[in-house]
Amino acid sequence: MKKYITLSVVLLTINTSAQWTQEKGKGYYKIGAWFLEANEHYTDTGISDPNITRGHLITSFYGRFGLSNKLTLIGYLHYTQVYQNGQRFSSGLSSIPGETFASLGDIDLSLEYQLCKKNSLAISASLLLGLPTGDDAGGSDGSYQTGDGEFNQSLQFNLGKSFPIGKQHFYFKSSIALNNRSRGYSDEWHFKLETSTKIAKEKLLVLGRLNTRQSLQNGRLSAINNNGSIFANNVEVTNLGGEIIYGFTKQFSVNVTASFPLAGKVIYKAPALSAGIALEL
């Protein structure tokens, strides 16, 4: 069943930034590392099933730059290492050897435009282009993918609002997106909710997140394609997670993130952890 597990969807658990559009000439830049290891997955019917232990280690760069006060350029690139533990018979003889594969992953480029910013309310829209720069047939059996080999376009609408509860100020953010995928992959919709507040003299930002990715089941790929897998097709997942960001200064911060799958199809069933450092200029 290992070929039925996708890497790209677990990138949903990599959260970038709670910010909105940047001011002209200003930027936000983040370097991070993300880790997941799983010996269990959700099948295409949504039930749990064991698999040979496989892990992913991703190092990434995320950047936002204000082209104007309303238009922000966003980029995300990552280098991914995929590994599988070796399996042994009780006699000690190796039955399935371990393996590691690493390469540049798919690159995301997007533009975000501010539609409305009034008082405590902000509305924006973004267009994301997913470039197929990763390897969709890595490793000895083609299942160590670091990309899906298709060019996708995602249109997303974002809404954010700040509000007080007593003396504490909170921020709420939601987004909905339609992701159009090429090469016979099913299109999909994404929905995200996020809330946050600052504590410890506003040096510590605490965030909670819920997101889901659902397939429209309109692709033409079957369970077997030219790579012998259905990598990233008809994937569904719902994640619950959180993040803690500590700001040492107004420009420099560190963060720790955790995410847990609540349900899914064709996806690992394991928590994902990440950490990073960010600079705002």
pLDDT cut 70: percent of the chain above it: 87
Average pLDDT over residues 228-238: 71
Per-residue pLDDT tens over the stretch 122-143? 999 999 999 999 998 888 888 8
1's CB contacts (< 8 A; 6+ apart) are: 41, 43, 49, 51
Q: Evaluate the CA torsion angle 37, 43, 46, 50 in order and state its sign.
A: negative
Residue 230 pLDDT greater than 80, yes or no: no
What's the CA gap between 96 and 74, in Å, rounded? 42
pLDDT of residue 9: 55
Tell me which of 34-38, 85-89, 108-112 is least confident.
Answer: 85-89
**Class (C level, CATH) for 2-280:** mainly beta
CA distance 28 to 17: 9
Spatial neighbors of 66 by CB under 8 A, at least 6 apart, are: 21, 22, 23, 24, 25, 26, 27, 72, 73
* Residue 7 confidence (pLDDT): 58
Residues 191-217: what's their mean pLDDT?
95
What pLDDT is recorded for position 238? 96
Classify residue 35 as exposed, middle or buried by CB count within 10 Å of its CB (0-12, 13-18, 19+). middle
Average pLDDT, stretch 103-118?
Answer: 94
Q: Is the pLDDT of residue 16 over 60?
A: no
Q: Of 2-11, 66-75, 142-151, 204-213, which range is least confident?
A: 2-11
Which residues lie below 8 Å from residue 159, measured CB to CB, with a gap of 6+? 121, 122, 123, 173, 174, 175
**158, amino acid identity:** N
Which pair of tokens denotes residue 33?
A: 């590392």
Domain boundaries, the chain: 2-280
> What is the reported pLDDT for 222?
61
Q: How much is the pTM?
A: 0.90
